[in-house]
């Protein structure tokens, strides 16, 4: 449905130029939900704006539904208003001088060839019904809550029945509770309309919860993409591991390797664990063992675990507590049921689930 090839883009800055995109390639099948995830400034919005036609890339090609809209090699660039898209901005960009109906009707009113008024009305009401805002058609846009503006922005993006829906951090302006609720609503909405979606966010839990495919971006490149479980469970490198959920790093040395398994002795704590290994490693190689907080159990007596740590800090978070444990020079994060109560300075013992660990050659 959407094909992006070799996208590059530089911005002129005060001191020369800054390359925001360094070659982006990806594809979304019809009906797919594809998420670009990455930290601030990595080029997510730039990519999305190039797809929308609001920015003109320096290099690369883009086609939407089999229609080439950008191909720098052939000098093709269709402006945004000729692309079959719906776009939702982070700021919603609801026009304050129009009411809800007029906001949603806009894409139909400017469409060529012109549509008749009854058809416009029917389709606007349908779109408003889709987002549960049919009772607000006459409401002035400035008199809407954040969540309602959000829904109007979706209705406006979908009213043209575009081939491609582009969403740039649509949930990030909402408070935590509403964000959670809107996430499900949005997912349901997209499922019902079946529209192909390109989603941009820096919130990993959104990305993991909603997407078919997650692409992690860093410094103008896609560093890894795949199904959420795959990318979360088997990050290709440290950047991805770090960005998706919090990760613990422990130094170690390979004692023995083979059959996709390696035995590693940890530098701190002097214990051995057998962990899966995707790369060929030879005995004696220095490695980093990476595991997530939820893959560790924490105990306050030595019977539960083999690695002894000291409790550095306890962060109560309601449904769970986060423990920061010191193991030699390393700080580890673990999650613990809030009923377990330890004080800073107490001793704790941890057990790591070896099958969930990931090995990287030490860098």
Partner 1 sequence: MAVQAEPATAVPVARRRRRGQLGWVGGIAVTFAALAALYLVMAPLLALLSTAFRGPSDLLPFEPGAHWTVDNLLEVYLGTNLLSTVLPSTAIFVLGSVVVTFFTAFTLAWLVERTDLPWRTTIFTVILFPLLVPGIVMAFAWTLLFAPNAGWVNVALRALLGLEGNGPIDIFSMAGLILCQGIASVPFVFLLLGAAMRTMNPSLEEASSASGARPITTFFRVTLPVLRPGVLAPLILAILVALEQFEMPLIIGFPARINVFSTRLYFDLNPEDELPAYGKAAAVALLFLVAAIALLLVYNHLIRRAERFVTVTGKGYRPTRYALGRWRVPALAFVGFYLLVAALLPAVVLVWTSFAGGSNDVGLDAYRTLLADNRFWPAVRNTFVVAGLSAGLITLIGALLAWQILRLRFPGRAALDVVSFLSIGIPAVITGFAVMILHLTIPIGIYGTVWILVLAYSYRLAVSTRLSRAALIQIHPELEEASIASGGRWLDTIGRVVLPLLAPSLMASFLLLFIVGFREFTIPMILQSQDNWVLSVIMWKLQSDRQTAQAAAVGTMILLFVAPVIFVLRRQLLSRQGDA
Ligand X SMILES: Nc1ncnc2c1ncn2[C@@H]1O[C@H](COP(=O)(O)OP(=O)(O)OP(=O)(O)O)[C@@H](O)[C@H]1O
Give the footprint of partner 1 on this chain (CB under 8 A): 1, 3, 52-54, 56, 63, 65-71, 74-87, 89-91, 93, 95-97, 106-107, 109-111, 156, 160, 166
The single-letter DSSP state of residue 329 is T
User: In the complex with partner 1, which residue's Cβ is closer, 115 or 331?
Assistant: 115
Q: State phi, psi for 321 to the nearest 5 degrees.
A: -115, 145
Binding residues for Mg ion, total number by CB under 5 A: 1
Q: Pick from partner 1, ligand X, Mg ion, none: which does 20 bind, CB < 5 to 8 A by kind?
A: ligand X
Of residues 110 and 280, the one with the C-beta less far from partner 1 = 110
With respect to Mg ion, which residue has the nearer C-beta, 90 or 297? 90
Q: Which of 45, 47, 248, 298 binds Mg ion (CB under 5 A)?
A: 45
Q: How far is the CB of 133 from partner 1 (least distance, A)?
A: 17
Would you say 221 or 333 has its CB closer to ligand X?
A: 221
With CB atoms as reference, the residue minimizing the distance to ligand X is 45
Distance of alpha carbon 240 from alpha carbon 244, whole angstroms:
6
Looking at beta carbons only, is 183 or 202 nearer to ligand X? 202
Contact call for residues 64 and 2 (beta carbons, < 8 A): yes
Q: Which residues neighbour 68 within 8 Å (Cβ) at sequence distance 6 or greater?
A: 61, 62, 76
Instruction: Residue 81: name its binding partner from ligand X, partner 1, Mg ion, none (Cβ under 5 to 8 Å by kind).
Output: partner 1
Q: Which does 11 bind (CB under 5 to 8 A by kind): Mg ion, ligand X, partner 1, none?
A: ligand X
Extract the runs of DSSP E, i.e. beta strands, from 29-112. 33-38, 59-64, 67-71, 76-77, 85-88
Judged by beta carbon distances under 5 to 8 A according to partner kind, the member of Mg ion, ligand X, partner 1, none in contact with residue 234 is none
Smallest separation, CB 92 to ligand X (Å): 15
- The smaller minimum CB distance to partner 1, of residues 12 and 303, is found at 12
Q: Decide whether 105 or 244 has the Cβ nearer to partner 1.
A: 105
Site for ligand X, residues 44 to 63, rule: CB under 6 A? 44-46
Quote the CA–CA distance of 79 and 42 in Å, as a whole number.
24
Choice between 200 and 275, CB closer to Mg ion: 200
Beta carbon of residue 70, minimum distance to partner 1 (angstroms, whole number):
8
Pairing of the two strands 272-276 and 321-327: unpaired
CA distance 355 to 345: 30
| Contact partners, residue 47, CB within 8 Å, separation at least 6 | 4, 7, 21, 24, 36, 200, 217
Taking Cα atoms as reference points, which of 201, 171, 198 lies closest to residue 85? 198
In angstroms, what is the minimal distance from the CB of 68 to partner 1? Answer: 4
> Using CB under 6 A as the criterion, what x/- string covers residues 18-47 for binding ligand X?
x-x-----------------x-xxxxxxx-
Tokens 């998706």 appear where? 244
Residue with tokens 């846009």: 141
Residue 166 tokens, joined: 């582009």
Measured distance CA(272)–CA(316) in Å, rounded: 31
Paired tokens of 16: 């020369």
Task: Give the integer Cα–Cα distance in Å for 213 and 181.
Answer: 21
- Contact residues for ligand X (CB under 6 A)? 11, 13, 18, 20, 38, 40-46, 202
């Amino acid at each position: 449905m959407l094909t992006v090839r070799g996208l590059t883009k530089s911005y002129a800055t005060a001191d020369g130029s800054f390359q925001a995109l360094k070659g982006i390639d990806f594809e979304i099948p019809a009906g797919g939900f594809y998420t670009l995830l990455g930290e601030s400034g990595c080029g997510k919005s730039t990519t999305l704006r190039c797809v929308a036609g609001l920015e003109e890339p320096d290099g690369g090609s883009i086609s939407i539904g089999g229609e080439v809209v950008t191909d720098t090699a052939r000098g093709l660039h269709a402006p945004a208003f000729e692309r079959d898209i719906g776009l939702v901005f982070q700021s919603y960009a609801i026009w304050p001088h129009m009411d809800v109906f007029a906001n949603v009707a806009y894409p139909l009113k400017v469409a060529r060839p012109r549509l008749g008024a009854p058809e416009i009305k029917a389709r606007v009401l349908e779109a408003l019904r889709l987002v549960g805002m049919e009772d607000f058609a006459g409401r002035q846009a400035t008199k809407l809550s954040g969540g309602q503006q959000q829904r109007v922005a979706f209705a406006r993006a979908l009213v043209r029945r575009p081939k491609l829906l582009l969403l740039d951090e649509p949930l990030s302006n909402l408070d935590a509770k509403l964000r959670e609720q809107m996430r499900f609503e949005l997912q349901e909405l997209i499922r019902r309309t079946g529209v192909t979606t390109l989603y941009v966010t820096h919130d990993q839990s959104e990305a993991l919860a909603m997407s078919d495919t997650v692409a992690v971006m860093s410094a103008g490149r896609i560093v890894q993409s795949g199904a959420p479980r795959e990318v979360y469970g088997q990050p290709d490198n440290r950047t991805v591991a770090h960005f998706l959920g919090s990760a613990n790093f422990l130094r170690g040395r390979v004692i023995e390797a083979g059959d996709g398994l390696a035995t590693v002795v940890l530098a701190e704590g002097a214990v051995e664990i057998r962990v899966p290994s995707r790369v060929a490693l030879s005995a004696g190689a220095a490695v980093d063992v990476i595991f997530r907080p939820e893959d560790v159990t924490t105990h306050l007596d030595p019977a539960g675990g083999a690695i002894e740590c000291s409790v550095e800090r306890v962060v109560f978070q309601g449904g769970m507590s986060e423990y920061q444990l010191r193991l030699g020079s390393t700080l580890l994060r673990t999650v613990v049921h809030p009923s377990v109560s330890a004080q800073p300075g107490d001793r704790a013992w941890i057990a790591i689930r070896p099958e969930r660990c990931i090995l990287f050659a030490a860098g």
